Chains A and B, each alone.
Chain A
Amino acid sequence: MTTFTPPPVLEKKNDPPVPPPPLSGSEVAESAAKRLSRPWATAAALIIAVLWTIPTFGLLVSSFRPEKLTKTTGWWTFFSNPTVTLDNYRAVLTTEGSSGLGKYVINSFIIVIPSVVIPLVLATLAAYAFAWVKFPGRNVLFIAVFALQIVPIQVTLLPLLKLYVKGDLVGFPAIWISHSIFALPLAIFLLHNFMREIPAELIEAARVDGAGHVKILTAVLLPLLKPAIAAFGIFQFLWVWNDLLVALVFAGGGSDVAPITKGLADLSGTRDSAWHLLSAGALVAIIVPVVVFLSLQRYFVRGLLAGGLKG
């Protein structure tokens, strides 16, 4: 969205090379880390990390084990009886036959990009209006939007699909619009909260300089919000990437439009008899989200409000 690219000057100013400016939040971390460098702190971190990683690690090991062993013994027996096979991966990457897993990955990207960009842009505008534009009924409206988070997706399927059928939008457009709708309440809520954290003086100063709302949003707020937008962007990416329900219902039955989650769901066969393939399939499917996380992490690792604020 070219509209939202902040002016280059600002971008530079707010994107200093590592290390972060002195006395920023990481300073807390550093000092805390020094004080916490007692063994128990490291131990606690290690314990959490190990507990959180073991399930995925088991998945990784399972994905290389033969079907018979997976179905009769635990993955940890791998270490006393290491039998490695690539059969699961071979099956995952080829059973799709003529359609191929690659097609599903492309579909997932086609689905996910607009489904992240559209709600992010709309939510940024809305969150700005709720946070920094004065108008009657602002709080009531904001609370209403926030409360809409609770509407379960399932109640919306039928009414929305009816509309899409009427408008002949079934397929990718229906999926994009639906994901955007479902993301808006949470996106607005999160971005609004980050926007409110920005000191009013900053906005006031810009106003005094004669900046209108559009200018304030694009030139002052957006650069500061980059980490928040990146953070929400990755969460929305993950939710859409892992979605199956929305894509299935609004795809209109065409496997032309089906995302990778459908390919994975089908992997185990009609009666789930091939569930030993799921481990390999799941690992193939999380590669993209993990790469996205790692590449976006630098945007929010410095803090959601790092940069120009803390001088």
Chain B
Amino acid sequence: MAIAGVLSVGLLASACGGSSSDTSSTASGASSGDCSAYTQYGDLSGKTISVSAGIVTPEDTAYIDSYKPFEDCTGAKVTYDGNKDFETQILVRARAGNPPDIAIVPQPGLVKQLVATGAAKPAPKAVADNVDKFWSPEWKAYTTVDGKYYGAPSGASVKSLVWYSPSEFKDSGYAVPTTLDELKTLSDKMVSDGKKPWCAGISSGEATGWPITDWMEDMMLRSAGPAEYDKWVNHQIAFNSAEPTKALDMVGEYLKNPAYVNGGLGDVTSIATTTFQDGGLPILDGTCSLHRQASFYAANWPKGTTVAEDGDVFAFYLPGKTAGDKPVLGGGEFNVAFSDRPEVQAFQTYLSTDTWANNKVAATPNGGWISANKGLDASKLSSPIDKLSADLLQDPKTVFRFDGSDQMPAAVGSNSFWKQATAWITGQSTKDTVDNIEASWPTS
């Protein structure tokens, strides 16, 4: 008993005492072995940096672990706090003058709101330089507000994916489609085989409706092209103009087609009440064949499901208009700082390096995390779906676009777009839907 007590106290002390030089030297010797990449940050002993995010257990462990080499080599201590009401809470805290040092913000739109509170601090030059070096230019634009740059991208996800069952495809002789037309033909073939090919679910508490916004963005990107897509996102063309209307109708050809949906889940309206987490599960039961959802859906399959090209489920790239087109819709998080203390800037810089991206991958041994950082060593990725996503992000032919609703003003991107999309799936016409969303766009 006594010995165990002493031991546990000792463990606690070493786990918490990253600041003491004694433990840091041994720990760094054990983990990264080499602190040369960290000497630029100087000695930050006794300094504390607080990080806040919406990422909670069990994914938070990988973040905390990826900070360890920085803590061990610089002597700084990083505290991580994740909670699921982060998006509401961070705004209240920023306005009240009580923000964390660094927040991992999941939407460019929210970054703009945080900048508007006056609490966010522009990123130091070292961060901007790293972003120029490691990311394609469009990534930098997402967090540039009024000419100032507010923080490097963190993780990324690929949204242009369709989940399917490789064994079903093999048994039924289906081929992975390479154009949008082929996707349609495949769906029709499945119908003639007596199946309901597609399944979907958009229920997600107050965010109910968002999966449809992703569908629409994917279709917009494919039918109208990236330039038109950008205009739509920035409201340079009206939400109810021809191209967005056409894109939503294209979604309707799938999601509002009673012959196509909702395999294993019900009729068209069941899309509205099925949680997005459950939306793809019928693939496992064989009552549904196709489910369009982002790479992070990999975490939704029940334990024991093999996610691989030859496993129970896998995903293929939602094809472009032609086989040569490669538009990819994605999402991601950004590290925004609310303090310009030297240790915070140093840590922010660390998070924008390839070193951190690779540390993060190493800290996520079961997969489920990638970055658009070009310095990311894709060969180190352990899960097939992460590899597929990273390949898509790093493919030179890829035209990447960020989730449009995440960039629109909050009144649209996290309210009317979701709500109208939900009304649309339960029967509202496409015209009324785009008209209502256009009407809700803030005037200022």
Residues of A within 8 A of B (CB): 67-68, 71-72, 95-98, 157-158, 161-162, 164-165, 170, 244-245, 248-249, 252-255, 258, 262, 265-267, 269-273, 275
Contacts and interface: CB of A to CB of B under 8 A. Distances in A.
15 contacts: A72-B281, A72-B285, A95-B57, A96-B57, A97-B61, A161-B92, A161-B98, A162-B96, A245-B85, A249-B93, A253-B50, A253-B98, A269-B299, A273-B300, A275-B277
Given A270-B54, A272-B275, A161 B96 contact: yes
Contacts of B98: 161, 164-165, 170, 252-253
Contacts of B281: 71-72
Q: How large is the interface on B (under 10, 10 to 19, 20 to 34, 35 or more residues)?
A: 35 or more
Interface of B: 15, 50, 52, 54-59, 61, 79, 81-85, 89, 92-93, 95-98, 100, 275, 277-278, 281, 285, 296, 299-300, 302-304
Contacts of A249: 89, 92-93
Nearest to A265: B84
Contact of B92 (A68, A158, A271): A158
B81 A161 contact: no
Contacts of A275: 277
Given A72-B281, A273-B277, 17 more contacts: A71-B281, A96-B57, A157-B92, A161-B96, A161-B98, A245-B85, A249-B89, A254-B79, A255-B81, A258-B83, A266-B56, A266-B57, A267-B57, A270-B59, A271-B296, A272-B275, A273-B299
Contacts of B15: 98
Nearest to A263: B57
B95 to A, nearest CB: 6
Contacts of A270: 54-56, 59, 82, 84
Contacts of A252: 98
A271 B15 CA distance: 29
B300 A271 contact: yes
Given A157-B92, A162-B97, A262 B83 contact: yes
Contacts of A255: 81-82
A253 B275 contact: no
Given A68-B302, A95-B58, A266 B97 contact: no
A276 B367 CA distance: 22
A242 B56 CA distance: 20
B97 A165 contact: yes
Among B79, B98, B275, B281: residue with most chain A CB under 10 A: B98
Nearest to B282: A72
Q: Which 9 pairs between the two chains have the least Cβ-Cβ distance?
A: A161-B96, A266-B56, A273-B300, A165-B98, A253-B81, A162-B96, A165-B97, A273-B299, A266-B57
Contacts of A262: 83
A263 to B, nearest CB: 9
A252 B92 CA distance: 11
